[in-house]
Structure 1
Amino acid sequence: MTKWSRLEPAQAISDLLKWLTIGWAIGILAGTASAALLATLEWATQWRESHRWSWLLLPVGGLISGLIYHYLGRSVAAGNNLAIAQIHDPRTVIPLRMAPLVFLGTTIAHVVGASVGREGTAVQMGAALADRLTLLLGLPAAERRLVLMAGIGGRCASVFGTPLAGMLFGLEVLAVGKLRYDGLFVCAIAAIVGDRVTLAWGLHRQLTASRSSPN
C-alpha cells in the first residue's frame, strides 16, 4: 500500500499538489543554476583552449581556491559530505554560500585546466539551493530530507541532461542500491523540470566526463 492510498482523498490531493509545487520550484532552481554553470564552463573552456599556456596557472588557481575556502567557506568545506550528512540527519540548514563557492571553484578549475569531476558541483549546489526552500517553508526534518534529495537529483539531471539517472541518484544518495521510495514523486518532478529548464535556456549538455568542481 502506497503512502497516497492510506490518506483521505482530500489530504492526498493536498499533499500531491504540495510536492508537485515543491518539485517544480526545485527543478526551476536546479535548471537555471545548471544553465548558468554550463554557460560559464563553456566560456572557461574556450578561453583555456585559446590560451594553451594557462596550465601554468594551475598552482595559482589552486592557491586562490584554497584561500577562498579558508576565508569564506570554512562552514561548507566538507562539500559533498556536508550535503549527504544533512540528508542522513537533518539538523542545520546548509549555508547558501556553498552554491556560489563551488560555482567559483569549478570555474577556476576549468580556466586553469584542473582535472576534476562535475558530480560534486551538482550535489553541492543542488543541496544548498534546495535547502533554502526548507528554510522558507519551515518544513520538518522528514520533509527536508526529501527536498534535499530532490535538489541533488534535479541538479544532476539538469547538468548532465539525464532526468532518469538524476532521479535515481537523488533517491539512492543515502545508500547505493537502496531507494527512498517516499521521495520518488518529488525527485521525478525536480529531475524532469530541471532538465527541461536547462534546455529552455538554450544550453546543451555533454554526457561524457568533464572538468568541474574539485569537491
Structure 2
Amino acid sequence: MKKYIKICVKRAWLLLRWLILAGGMGILLGLVGGLFGKSVTWVTDFRNTHPWMLYLLPLAGLVIVGMDRLNPYKGGTNRVLESIQSHAYIPLRMAPLIVLSTVLTHACGGSAGREGAALQLGGSLGGTAGKWMKFDEYDHRLMIMCGMSAGFAALFGTPLTATVFAMEVISVGMMQYAALVPCSVAALTAKQTAELIGAYGEHFLIEQKVAFDLKNAVLVVLLAF
C-alpha cells in the first residue's frame, strides 16, 4: 500500500511540475511571440502605406546576412528538430536573430513565413530554459517541444494545431504522446497570454458557404491523398 501511495505521489508531483513548467513557458512565449506577431503586422502595414520601403530590400538582405554570421550554429528550424532528436545545442541568440530578420524582411517587402520563425523562437527559448535548469536529455526534449507549441500558438492562435504539430514533427509516423499534456498547457497558456496583450491569431473569413454534400465529401477525401 505504501509503495502504491509513493508511486501516486511521485506521478502527481511529476504532473504538477510539468504543469508549472509548461505554463511558465506558455506565458513567456505568449509575451514574446505576441509582441513578435504584432511587430510583423505593424511593419507590414507601414510598408503597405510607404511603398518606397521596397527599395530597401537589398540593404535589408545584407543586414540579415550579417546577422546570420553572428550565429555559428547553422540550420534554423532543422537545428531545432535535431536538438530534439540528437540533443544538438540551440543557442539563445537564435531567438532575437530570427525575430529581427523576419521583421526586417516583412518591413521591406520580402517573402518570409512565420511558421519557421515561431518554431525557432520557441525552440530556442525552450532549449535555453532546459539547459539553465540542467534537465536531462528527456526533460530537455520535452521543454523544447513545449516552446515550439507555445511559439506556434502565440503567433497563430491555434493551440490544438500547435500541440499536434510539435508532437508529430519530431519523427514521421510517430506521435510523442508523453508530450501531450505539457504541450497542450504551453500552447493554451501562450494563446491566452498573447491575446491579453492584443495579439490575436490569424483569421481567414470564408465568404462563400460550401455545402457539405456527397460530392464535396468525396473531393475532400481525394485531396487528403
Same fold judged by TM-score > 0.5? yes
Q: How far apart in 2 are the matches of 1:195 and 1:97?
A: 24
Cα displacement (A) at 1:42 = 2.0
Cα displacement (A) at 1:110 = 0.9
- In our comparison, the structure showing a higher alpha carbon Rg is 2
Residue in 1 aligned with 2:119?
123
Residue in 1 aligned with 2:16?
17
Q: How far apart in 1 are the matches of 2:110 and 2:88?
A: 34
Residue in 2 aligned with 1:156?
152
Q: How far apart in 2 are the matches of 1:113 and 1:106?
A: 11
Q: Aligned residue pairs: how many? A: 200
Q: How far apart in 2 are the matches of 1:123 and 1:37?
A: 13
Residue 202 in structure 1 maps to residue 201 in structure 2: no
Cα displacement (A) at 1:173 = 1.8
Match of 2:130 among 125, 130, 134: 134
The runs of 5 or more residues in structure 1 that have no matched partner are 209-215
Cα displacement (A) at 1:157 = 1.1
- Partner AA of 2:192 in structure 1: R
Give yes or no for contact 1:154–1:187 (8 Å, CA) kept in 2: yes
- Partner AA of 2:71 in structure 1: G
Match of 1:171 among 155, 167, 179: 167
The runs of 5 or more residues in structure 2 that have no matched partner are 205-225
After the TM superposition, which residues 37-186 of structure 1 pair with which residues of structure 2 at under 5 Å, given as runs? 37-70=36-69, 72-75=70-73, 77-92=74-89, 94-186=90-182
- Partner AA of 2:87 in structure 1: P
Give yes or no for contact 1:54–1:111 (8 Å, CA) kept in 2: yes
Give yes or no for contact 2:76–2:120 (8 Å, CA) kept in 1: yes
Task: Using the aligned pairs only, state the percent identity.
Answer: 32
- Partner AA of 2:41 in structure 1: E
Q: How far apart in 1 are the matches of 2:119 and 2:32?
A: 12
Q: How far apart in 1 are the matches of 2:133 and 2:62?
A: 38
- Partner AA of 2:187 in structure 1: A
Cα displacement (A) at 1:58 = 1.6
Cα displacement (A) at 1:120 = 0.7
Cα displacement (A) at 1:176 = 3.8
Give the TM-score, by structure 1 length: 0.88
Give yes or no for contact 1:126–1:151 (8 Å, CA) kept in 2: yes
Cα displacement (A) at 1:192 = 0.5
Cα displacement (A) at 1:179 = 1.0
Q: How far apart in 1 are the matches of 2:152 and 2:37?
A: 12
Give the TM-score, by structure 2 length: 0.85
Cα displacement (A) at 1:34 = 1.2
Cα displacement (A) at 1:124 = 0.3
Question: Larger deviation: 125-134 or 174-183?
Answer: 174-183
